[in-house]
Amino acid sequence: MFVVTVFTLLAVYFAYRLLRSFLYPKKLITDVSHKYVLITGCDSGFGRVTAVHLDGLGVHVIACCLTEKGAENLRNECSDRLRALLLDVTSSVNVQDVYETVKRIVPPNIGLWGLVNNAGTLDVGPIEWLPLSSYKHVADVNLWGMIDVTKAFLPLVQQAHGRVVNVSSITGRFCPKFLSAYVISKYGIEAFSDALRREMRPFGVKVSIVEPEGFKTNIATGFLDRVKQHWKNLSEELKAVYGERFLNRGEYKIYPNVHKQVCPDLSPVVNAITDGLLSFSPQTRYVVGGFGCHVILAVASLPGSIADWCFRLIFSRMNGAPPEPEICKQK
């Protein structure tokens, strides 16, 4: 029954994709010489590669970086059209300053054609290990920062009847273990984007969500170091609950192992972002990943108890038989 359900869901999904490709064939805007697009999180990863790609197409890119080094690298690599600005999305004062700068960059009555919210960060570990500050920091960057930037620049996007593209994740639709801080922010992005899309329709603004699977970016740098630091900060009582064996062989270690094997080619995500910005009929959601990605989404739509069993099976096969917390063995 389970297999039939999963394959039925997949069949419906791919039938929809096929039908959509016939009804709405891909057609991109080609005259981009007067299009201005702002992208956050351009120091590395999706943001940086997207900025370089759009600059090559002739788009006027406003690339927002957290560091001067990231901004300088883009200035050296791209044309004079690209403007690299420093932006910390967690600072409302900085967001407003950049908004005022962008208003001076964009010609009068042109507006901002595209806003790509890409800035992101990550933390990992069991819920009991993560301090509240970790949840707040991840949400400040991934969610509240996105909302702040979007609200600031919406008047310029509305003026152009343009596009908003929010980079979420496949985990915006299901939550694996040990990624709660990250996934909570991604669930929030999905909800915010859905509300924004419906509210912006009367303004002629289109909103898309890009949901990548695993791609090799710098977001997972220092993965295990952060987990070990969280362990060091635990009370002795909580360390006894989990045990050293869980720290050394815990299931959370699957993530850095998987990250070493994921696709280093970021072009599928860049293409999805570009389509969201320049397609005459952009998709609501762009799921970017292989067949396994669609299987995971199909499983996530099953009843909770069945989905939980499936995910336990999937992760155990990927990571062997990881140890449980020490106290669980005593029951």
The domains of the chain are located at: 32-287+308-318
The model's confidence at residue 71, banded by pLDDT at 50, 70 and 90, is very high
Tens of pLDDT, residues 77-87: 999 999 999 99
Tens of pLDDT, residues 97-142: 999 999 999 998 999 999 999 999 999 889 999 999 999 999 999 9
Q: Are 38 and 95 in contact (CB under 8 A)?
A: no
Cα distance between residue 320 and residue 314, in whole Å: 10
Tens of pLDDT, residues 278-313: 999 999 999 998 777 778 788 888 888 888 888 777
Among 36, 99, 182, 242, the active-site one is: 182
Q: Which two tokens stand for residue 24?
A: 């709405």
Average pLDDT of the chain to the nearest whole number? 87
3-class secondary structure, 242: helix
CA distance to 82, 285, 328, per residue, from 191 (Å): 31, 12, 35
**CATH class name, domain 32-287+308-318:** alpha beta
Active site residue 252: no
Instruction: List the single range of 13-22, 38-47, 294-303 with lowest mean pLDDT.
Output: 13-22
Q: Write down the pLDDT at residue 27.
A: 83
Is residue 240's pLDDT more than 70? Answer: yes
Q: How many CB atoms lie within 10 A of CB 102?
A: 19
Q: Interior CA angle at 63 toward 58 and 66, to 5°? A: 165
pTM over 0.95: no
Is residue 258's pLDDT more than 70? Answer: no
